[in-house]
Structure 1
């Protein structure tokens, strides 16, 4: 089981002080959060991709390349790579380059994003969101697996005898998660390719994501990638902790009430009841997170959103200390004890290389038997 944090990179005023960080300060704080994640023993740091205020992470591979130089073990990922408005050729090149720089500590999450105006900014039509996601990923999938590609589609110019460079590290592309809040077509796409499916699981009730994840699992098995319970699932989540649950609620309430996304709407208590948001003690976070397995089955990656809504960096780092010292060690032990042996671990570059080598050895043995 892999644990980590993801950031959306919002620049938001602290409602308790009125202070708003500059874009540079926010970017620097995101890097510090990534370093802290490794320091406290987490596995993954993921950044979103946005091209509009009040967000700053417009170039995820630039940030992750910098973080790669400052860390040694952390898996570097995206919480969304916009498969609809980025050129698949550029995605192939950027993430293969990042793979080499980070020694394979890279994967990414494909998504359509949640900002409508981004489509025309990059010359696309939001009404083509799903077809764009399907076609662009089909091309990206080929670019990483075929040395020379001839291709023609609907949304970009054709390619003739094209080779994407650099080639993926060790001949193994980065692991891909397909992220979705609401689209069964994306769950189907993840299943078709045998990729991971990431349910953001921060805004909607669990019943909605149960349906999406169950669809993905059934179709994963249908396409012959393994049994339904071997499908690779990731979940998002939101937490805010203090040693005493009442202190956590009192401290977090003004941030929740004024958050750009859900502020001035449901109460903190109502939102926590209907979504995975957990505000309380470390033990409450442990208990709530363990419940996720009951709803969704065994899964491979849990990411928490912890640095949004204007929370100051000092507070976020304190949250990471609690997560790394008191929450994740217990969750690791409990999830490991419950996971059946045939359910895969979270994806890593080393594991993907080993799987590739096993496949090649099997094919070589089969070919030898045929030629005898």
Structure 2
């Protein structure tokens, strides 16, 4: 399980969210029922981040073909979306057995499904999918240059507005990031370099300094993490969720917990305050169960 820390525009800070739920190798029926149960247990404080998964060997473990990743993601989510919104479902597709008169149980809390984010590293089809449904779009924002992710978010915002869910600025956006912190940047760089150099993802490529210059990777002091993370807004506009990867490359548990302490005590409070202070007035917070329930009640009284 990936260790993460969350910040952003006053997003529901006591929420329970998945880092990645694979929509490709999981059965949509199981997702629908499992997360509806969790939604009831958490009194609505849950949402899902859907991803395709980019690790090839995982797919055949579940009888799937990674070459069908995009069609699987599109079809499986279409079914999940339907299961949460229709009491009785008749369905037939390419990748699972048909359903006849099927009811997913339990039904979503108050008839409101958990909010969904669609995560992507490189796929415009996933940006399109998120926009079509009016769901959130989460940029992986790891391993690649910022301008690559800027193109994806621009596409999502344009298509979100095209489908009539709101303006481009009102689209619901999240972004990843990768940090390693120490009290001063020299200690952070010295300590993290061996992990970086021997990482199966980073090792053997550009230097750590080159990665930091071109990607979201931040190795440094709490203030450096704050400054660079705030600069993400220049690339993505106002956005609602920021996730940090803090355990990549084999860090020992003690070091990961130290990262959490520094983030929680010195970084996240400042980021929340600064993001809130610069957010445009017409940019909504990320939907929560409470806000969706209130919106439905308001609509019913019109």
TM-score for both structures, normalised by structure 2? 0.94
Question: Are the aligned partners of 2:7 and 2:268 in contact in 1 as well (CA < 8 Å)?
Answer: no
What is the CA–CA distance in structure 2 between the aligned matches of 1:230 and 1:347, rounded to whole Å? 11
Residue in structure 2 matched with residue 61 of structure 1 by the alignment: none
Counterpart-to-counterpart distance in 2, 1:86 and 1:194: 22
**Whole-Å Cα distance in 1 between the matches of residues 232 and 80 of structure 2?**
32
CA distance in 2: counterparts of 1:127 and 1:279, whole angstroms:
35
* Equivalent residue number for residue 137 of structure 2: 197
Per the alignment, residue 228 of structure 2 pairs with 288
After superposition, the C-alpha distances for 1:83-141 in whole angstroms (9 at most, x for unaligned) are 11111111100110111112212111111101112222222222221111111111100
1:169 equivalent among 109, 120, 125: 109
**Counterparts of 1:174 and 1:234, CA distance in 2:** 16
Please say which structure displays the higher CA radius of gyration. Answer: 1
Q: Distance in 2 between matches of 1:308 and 1:118?
A: 19
8 Å contact kept, 2:51–2:119:
yes
The number of aligned residues is 298
Whole-Å separation in 2 of the counterparts to 1:104 and 1:239: 30
Q: Which position in structure 1 is the counterpart of 2:243? A: 303
Moved over 4 A (4+): none
Tell me if structure 1 keeps the 8 A contact 2:32–2:84: yes
Q: In the alignment, which of 140, 155, 169 is matched to residue 95 of structure 2?
A: 155
The residue that corresponds to 1:128 in the other structure is 68
Query: Please, which moves more after superposition, 193-202 or 251-260?
Result: 251-260
Of 160, 165, 190, the residue aligned with 1:250 is 190
The answer for the alignment partner of 1:351 in structure 2 is 291
Check 1:109–1:174 CA distance in 2 against 1; reply closer, same or farther (3 A cut): same
Residues 114-123 or 102-111, more deviating: 114-123
Distance 1:230 1:135 in 2: 26
Q: What is the Cα deviation at residue 249 of structure 1?
A: 0.5
Aligned residue among 70, 89, 108 for 2:29: 89
Map 1:1-372 → 2, pairs under 5 A = 7-8=1-2, 74-362=14-302
Distance 2:60 2:91 in 1: 24
Instruction: Point out the more displaced range, 73-82 or 84-93.
Output: 73-82
After TM superposition, give the deviation of residue 155 of structure 1 in Å: 1.4
| Structure 2 portions without partners, runs of 5+ | none
Q: Which whole-Å CA distance do the structure 2 matches of 1:284 and 1:173 have between them?
A: 38
**Offset, 1:43:** 6.3
Confirm or deny: 8 A CA contact 1:43 1:74 kept in the other structure: no
**Greater relative contact order (Cα < 8 A, sep 6+):** 2
Using the TM superposition, give the Cα deviation of residue 74 of structure 1 relative to its aligned residue in structure 2, in angstroms. 3.2
